[in-house]
Each structure stands twice: as structure tokens, then as C-alpha cells.
Amino acid sequence: MNLMRIWLVRHGQTAWNKAHRAQGHTDIPLDEVGKQQALLVGRAMAELPIERVVSSDLSRALDTGKQIADAANISLSVDDRLRERSFGEWEGEDFPTIAERFPKMADEQGVSRNHVRPPGGESFADVYARLQEFTEELISRNENTVIATHGGTCSVLLSILLGGGLELSNSFRFSNAAITEVETHWNGKFRLLTYNDVAHLKASGPDLPVLTGTADGSAR
């Protein structure tokens, strides 16, 4: 099997990212900073040996993926399994408020925080299940692929690709428009080459902020 490279790219900044509000499936567009970040990440990836670009169907990821696909001169595919975790009735609320609810709900339901479902939403275990199916298809295609998606989704995808379980996904955080790269090794396993790289954003000058901190999917 040929070596396969996969790049995980979190979408550019949105107004709700800046306000630390949970977006989930709410279709919040890129703000002006996010649009510039998407343009820069596209330029940074233009010369890479990319064979496919696939994106979440939510506009903040879709518009980021389009910049990458256009720069690489290839078509953009869309897959709604790459959506962020749904926060249901909690979408739009700030992460500190949401974070206070998870331990209490976990105790009440007798489950771990990764299995807590917000009202009308998804647990991280739900997201893990839908992304396992996507990842199996991704690997079977054996194409160098860019995945334009969300912070929480990136966390789960990276855990799956590295052969970790659901708990490992809690260890990762991603900045807006950051690039993370993995590659298959000689033994067929994936190895991590680059994690949360934002050098392409910082090189543009001091006026373009780079938000770090909690991923768009959980305050963790």
C-alpha cells in the first residue's frame, strides 16, 4: 500500500469562536479574520501532494475547505458526518456555562462526560461512532486527503487515526485554521507528523490573531 497523508484543518475563526460560544450544528459563518485565515491556509497548502479535499457541510468549514481546494486546483467533496458535535438546546451558550453542567449530568446519568448528551444533542461517543465509519472509508480510498472540519471533530478523528480510544480525543486542542498532518508508516499505522501548526497565520503579520484554547466541541 502506498503511503497516505491526511491533513486535518480546523475552520477559520467565527464570531462565536471569539465569544467562546458553542456552535455545534448552528451554521455560523467565518468572520473577517476567519476569511483571511482560510485564504492563508489555502495558500500554505497549495503545493502539497493533495488528491482530495473533503469538508463538513457547515459553512465555516466549507468555506475553509473551498480555499484549500481552489488553491490545489481540485474539487471539493462534502460529507455531513464531519460536522461538529451537536450541542442541541445548548448551542449559542458560552462554554464556561456548559462546562459546569457536564459533571452534574454525568453523575445523574451514571456515565462518563464523553457519554453525556445535551438535550437534543450528541455525546462525544456519538461523534466517535459516526467518525469511525467515515475513517474506515477514508483509509480504504488511500488518497492524500485534506479534511476541513471542526475542533471537536479534529480531536476525535486524530484519536481514531492514531489508534486511540474515545478518551484520547480529550487530549487534543486545535486553533482556528491550524494544520495537523498524519502519514501511514511502513506497518500500516498512522504516525503524527505535524500537530496544530499555525505558522502560516503568524507569518502574515501581528495583526491577524490566532485563537487558542478550547476546541469548538467542548471546554476541556
Full pLDDT tens readout for the chain, 220 residues: 578 999 999 999 999 999 999 999 999 999 999 999 999 999 999 999 999 999 999 999 999 999 999 999 999 999 999 999 999 999 999 999 998 998 999 998 899 999 999 999 999 999 999 999 999 999 999 999 999 999 999 999 999 999 999 999 999 999 999 999 999 988 889 999 999 999 999 876 655 656 654 444 444 3
Do residues 215 and 151 make contact, with C-beta atoms less than 8 angstroms apart? Answer: yes
What is residue 21's predicted lDDT score, i.e. its pLDDT? 96
- Alpha carbons 77 and 48: distance in angstroms, whole number: 18
- CA within 13 Å, CB half, 189: 7
Q: How many residues does the chain have?
A: 220
Strands 179-184 and 145-149: unpaired
Cα 30 to Cα 18, 23, 65, 202, distances in angstroms: 11, 12, 12, 18
- This prediction has a pTM of 0.93
- Alpha carbons 13 and 16: distance in angstroms, whole number: 8
Domains of the chain: 5-202 (3.40.50.1240)
